[in-house]
Structure 1
Amino acid sequence: MDANTPLRRPRQAARRSTVSRREQADATRVLLLRTAERLYAEYGLSEVSNRQIVEAAGQGNNSALAYYFGSRAELIRAIASFHGEPIARRIQQLVEEARDSTDPRDHIASLVLPYTEHLAELGHPTWYARFTAQICADPTLGPDELAAPMQAPLFRKAIVSVRSQAPRLSPKVAALRSQSMRLVVIHTCAEHERAAAFTGRSADWTMMGDALVDIVTGMLLAPPHSRPTRRRRPSTS
């Protein structure tokens, strides 16, 4: 036996131990993320404490969330980032594929389908759609907390392509329709997810994605209503 062999074994064991601790820490972090997402989705952001999340995750240390995430706001951002980054990558792919299309539906699909496809990939049950709705309804947070940094320019790019083929709208009406698009997608998916959780049946995200693309296309392309000009009544004085 080589005289140096006994000296290598402790170093190899130490490396394995370091990797094991790192893997365990990563697993604990993901467990806390998923547990927080589930509780926030089911009970609401304001109804769930850090202690409840730690206990539901089976962690004995009450400071586990502070150790891994810092503040509650950072925890929420970490959940959003966990989902937002793969969604943003898929948006980028579909936006590029639809770049030269003259069909507005293709550009709208590039914004809607990445969200429903991601929900489908999560399996059953899911909590992210309801978590998303909670974030959007929270007065201290809002939808910007959910977006990956690359999403905003991609969203604007797709919307510009749609508007180039849509009826001419005032800036205020166009902005209102874009906002309504976001709300329709987020809250319809949340209700679909809630129904799936209640019945125990897997949500049909393929159907939901196609239906939402049709709905949003109709919303964004609907001709504006023109109010008839009212004639002033003649003065009786």
Structure 2
Amino acid sequence: MDPVSGVDADTRPGSRRAQAEATRDLLLRTAERLYAERGLAQVSNRQIVEAAGQANNSALAYHIGTRTDLIHAITRSHVERIAARTQQRVRAARRSRRPRDHVASLVLPYTEYLASLGNPSWCARFLAQVVTDPALADRVDVDPVLAMKFLDGVAAVWSHLAELPPAESALRSQTARVAVIHTCAEQERVAATRGVPADWSLVGQALTDAVTGLLLAARHRTAVPTARKDCP
């Protein structure tokens, strides 16, 4: 602590600690952009370091760690903030008897967060790749608060819907998740390409309606063919 300014010397602009944090953040944001634009498998650590303007090729390992550590750090930088929004929404919708309100509590925190990032952004495209990469499925943890609140929200949704066999309810939930993740990724890509921000309010409402409809859709029961009886 500086006795004159009362400011922690390690956090003042230009301090070694502040410079290290700035470099780490630059590496995270650069990696996120490259991953979003080119794909996880197409980007090397060396390319990230060079794009971030770092002369030392070991900068990524020094400031962050392994490639998995890097992807985990980028993911958490977004998911923690999405979790806070989800927690508020799920709590507010808890007493509602309308399935759509519970769906909205899971969809809107994400689209609202994406809206807060401005244009261009790379979060949706990056996360879409992370959650569908089989090599990362068990290695990049989701924020526990988000995971718990998401499960609370899903349980609330299904409590207001007709009971389905477990396999069918799992398929519908999976389809809804993929629809939200990839729709947002595509909207983000188009917005970045055109230079025109996505209408995230419209996207959020449209996805909420679509997912609600998907979950509420009547179950089609295939008729079981009866044994044919030959005429005498």
TM-score w.r.t. the length of structure 2 is 0.91
Aligned residue number for residue 47 of structure 2 = 52
| Residue number among 177, 180, 186 corresponding to 1:185 in the alignment | 180
Write the deviation string for residues 126-145 of structure 1: whole angstroms up to 9, x where unpaired. Answer: 10111011112212013883
Deviations 1:20-40, CA, capped at 9 Å, x for gaps: 222211111111101000000
Out of 141, 148, 153, the residue aligned to residue 148 of structure 2 is: 153
Give the Å deviation of 1:68: 1.3
Deviation at 1:59, TM superposition (A): 0.9
Q: Kindly state the Cα deviation for residue 164 of structure 1 after the two structures are TM-superposed.
A: 1.4
Is residue 9 of structure 2 the alignment partner of residue 16 of structure 1? yes
Which AA in structure 1 matches 2:84?
A: R
From 148, 162, 166, the equivalent of 2:161 is: 166
Inter-CA distance 11–61: structure 2 relative to 1 (3 Å threshold): farther
The amino acid that maps onto 1:16 is A
Aligned equivalent of 1:114: 109
Instruction: Give yes or no for the alignment of 1:83 onto 2:58.
Output: no
- The CA distance in 1 between the partners of 2:206 and 2:141, in whole Å, is 23
Within 5 A, what are the aligned runs for 1:84-103? 84-103=79-98
Return the offset for 1:72: 0.2
Give 2:102's aligned amino acid. H
Aligned to 2:56: 61
Provide the rounded CA distance (Å) in 2 between the counterparts of 1:67 and 1:172.
Answer: 45
Kept in 1: contact 2:99–2:160 (CA 8 A): yes
The structure in which a higher percent of residues are helix is 1
Provide the aligned C-alpha RMSD in A.
2.2
* Percent identity for Structure 1 against Structure 2: 56
Q: Which moved more, 1:111-120 or 1:149-158?
A: 149-158
Q: 37, 42, 65: which one pairs with 1:42?
A: 37
> What is the alpha-carbon distance in structure 1 between the residues aligned to residue 212 and residue 103 of structure 2?
7
Partner of 2:23, secondary structure, is helix
Task: Summarize deviations over 1:135-175 as a string: whole Å, max 9, x none.
Answer: 12212013883621112221121111111111210011111
**For 1:83 and 1:108, how far apart are their aligned partners in 2?**
21
Taking a change above 3 Å as real, the CA distance of residues 55 and 99 of structure 1, as seen in their structure-2 partners, is same
C-alpha deviation, 1:112, in angstroms: 0.6
Moved beyond 4 Å, runs of 4+: 9-12
Cα drift, residue 234 of structure 1: 3.7
Q: Aligned in 2, Cα 1:139/1:235: closer, same or farther, shift over 3 Å? A: farther
Query: Which amino acid is the alignment partner of residue 156 of structure 1?
Result: L
Consecutive unaligned residues in structure 1, runs of 5 or more = 1-8
In structure 2, list runs of 5 or more residues that go unmatched.
none
CA distance in 1, matches of 2:148, 2:88: 13
Letter matched to residue 60 of structure 1: A
Determine the structure 2 residue equivalent to 1:29: 24
For 1:129 and 1:144, the matched residues in 2 are separated by: 19
- Whole-angstrom CA distance in 2 between matches of 1:211 and 1:99: 22
- Aligned partner of residue 144 in structure 2, secondary structure: coil
Amino acid at match of 2:71: I
Per-residue Cα deviation, 1:40-87 (whole angstroms, up to 9, x for no partner)? 000001100001001101111111110111100000000000000010
Distance (whole Å) between structure 1 residues aligned to residue 42 and residue 156 of structure 2: 41
How many residues are aligned here?
A: 227
